[in-house]
Chains A and B, each alone.
Chain A
Amino acid sequence: MARRITDVFRSTLRRVVIGPQSKARKTTPITHEILINREGRIGARIFEKNEGIKVLDFHVEGPQNRDWYFHYITNSDHRVTHHYTVLEDRVIKAVTDPRMNPTNQNSVRFTDIGSEELGNFIQATKLYHDRVLREVYNRDPKTGLALS
């Protein structure tokens, strides 16, 4: 019985994550990359009302669940990455922005984020949490229980 419930859940989850099954999709495995991409797109929608830039991705990653990535493209077509690392007592932001150092497009600037940005950041992570649980994992964000 437990196995049957697990199978039903897996089947439902597969439909939620990769859409209704077709012959072509039947054998498509759910991979880490598929989940990250789906989460990242949902995370980007949190910021879609912002003018002048296009947010591509916002998601959490890493074995210690402390690395958050935020990618966007400016209206001048520069790709910018914010990598937030949550430490025990602070959050560090690493910004990769080709405009900062045109001679080295991969140069990174590190800063501790201040209280205002920390407040904004946690609001974004809360929205991300609730939407991803509901839309990717079919879970109630408050209880963690499977949605019917």
Chain B
Amino acid sequence: MTSESMYDFPRRALESEARQEVSQAQEFTPAPESTTIPEVDTAHFISQLHTIGSNIIRFRLEVLSDEEAA
């Protein structure tokens, strides 16, 4: 695998995911937004990444805390 194809890897994988979702719907719909790379608002994306990460870790710590208390 070249470094170029490695770079492309996440895009191809996600496009495949999007295609699968369309076929599962069993009807023609415009391709989901996820197949088109939108204009990137980096600050907005960074903010979303922090929110997603903190949300996951909040629930993870909650479970571990409950486990410890049990």
Contacts and interface: CB of A to CB of B under 8 A. Distances in A.
Contact of A66 (B13, B48, B53): B53
A56 interface: no
Contacts of A66: 49-50, 53
Nearest to A93: B7
What is the interface of chain B mostly: helix, strand, loop, or mixed?
helix
B36 to A, nearest CB: 9
A117 B37 CA distance: 9
B48 A120 contact: no
What is the interface of chain A mostly: helix, strand, loop, or mixed?
mixed
A32 B64 contact: yes
A86 B14 contact: no
A139 B48 CA distance: 19
A125 to B, nearest CB: 5
Nearest to B33: A123
Nearest to A52: B1
Contact of A10 (B34, B46, B48, B70): B70
B64 A30 contact: yes
B67 interface: yes
Interface of A: 6, 9-10, 13, 17, 29-32, 35, 39, 46-47, 49-50, 52-53, 55, 60, 65-66, 68, 74, 76, 80, 86-91, 95, 97, 99, 115-129, 132-133, 136-137, 139, 144
Interface of B: 1, 6-7, 9-14, 16-17, 20, 34, 37-38, 40, 42-43, 45-46, 48-50, 52-57, 59-60, 63-64, 66-67, 70
